[in-house]
A = this chain, B = another copy of it.
Amino acid sequence: MVKSSTQTVTLEEFLEFPETKPTKEYIDGQIVTKPMPRGKHSIIQGTLVSAINNTLKPQKIGLALPELRCTFANRSIVPDIAVFSWNRIPVDDNGDIANIFNSYPDWTIEILSPGQNQTLVTGNILHCLNNGSSFGWLIDPESRSILVYPCNQQPQLLDSSSDIIKVPNIFSDFKLTVGELFSCLKI
């Protein structure tokens, strides 16, 4: 993630730009490019979205969405996984899921990429927590560990295989250990 130095556009102008690969975010008036996902990032993202949805979607408790643009509180960010409680998923006139999400995810999940600036990613998680989200995860494939950020609390580092990773209370049907999370890396 690299902060561009000389961009001065408004959030409204930024949102008019076409989407790009890699993804761009709008943070504190600056346009920031997320790294392109590589193998480890990608498999964790895919596996975790599936696992969360397998538990929460059939019961209409929540929905995990990968690479979803969330625009709120003067930032436009794209968490690696954004989990919304069912009743907060915006819908259009047909009752279909909306295209534009102008709100915070209840649970934001970021997966570190090699060389990515972790402070900026942490800043996005804190931005979510300061504006309505109840929970953040920061997954570090390199150190096989995960930083859990509950709203208004001190974060927690989990790095033992048997550690059960905390989730927001409303999603407590979903249970996962650190070992289970990283087992998807093994081919």
Contact = CB atoms under 8 A, between A and B. Distances in A.
Nearest to A127: B157
A184 to B, nearest CB: 19
What is the copy number of this chain in the assembly? 2
Contacts of A107: none
Given A3-B143, A143-B3, A119 B157 contact: yes
A149 B156 CA distance: 12
A46 interface: no
A154 B152 contact: yes
A153 interface: yes
Contact of A126 (B140, B150, B155): B155
A23 interface: no
For the residues of A in contact with B, the DSSP-based class is mixed
A20 to B, nearest CB: 22
A142 B143 CA distance: 21
B157 A154 contact: no
Contacts of A154: 126, 129, 149-155
5 contacts: A117-B142, A120-B145, A126-B155, A151-B154, A153-B154
3 closest residue pairs by CB, A with B? A118-B118, A119-B140, A123-B157
Given A3-B143, A119-B143, A126-B156, 19 more contacts: A112-B119, A117-B140, A119-B138, A119-B142, A119-B145, A119-B147, A119-B157, A120-B143, A122-B147, A122-B157, A123-B157, A126-B154, A126-B155, A126-B157, A149-B154, A150-B154, A151-B154, A154-B154, A155-B155
Interface of A: 3, 28, 112, 117-120, 122-123, 126, 129, 138, 140, 142-143, 145, 147, 149-157, 159
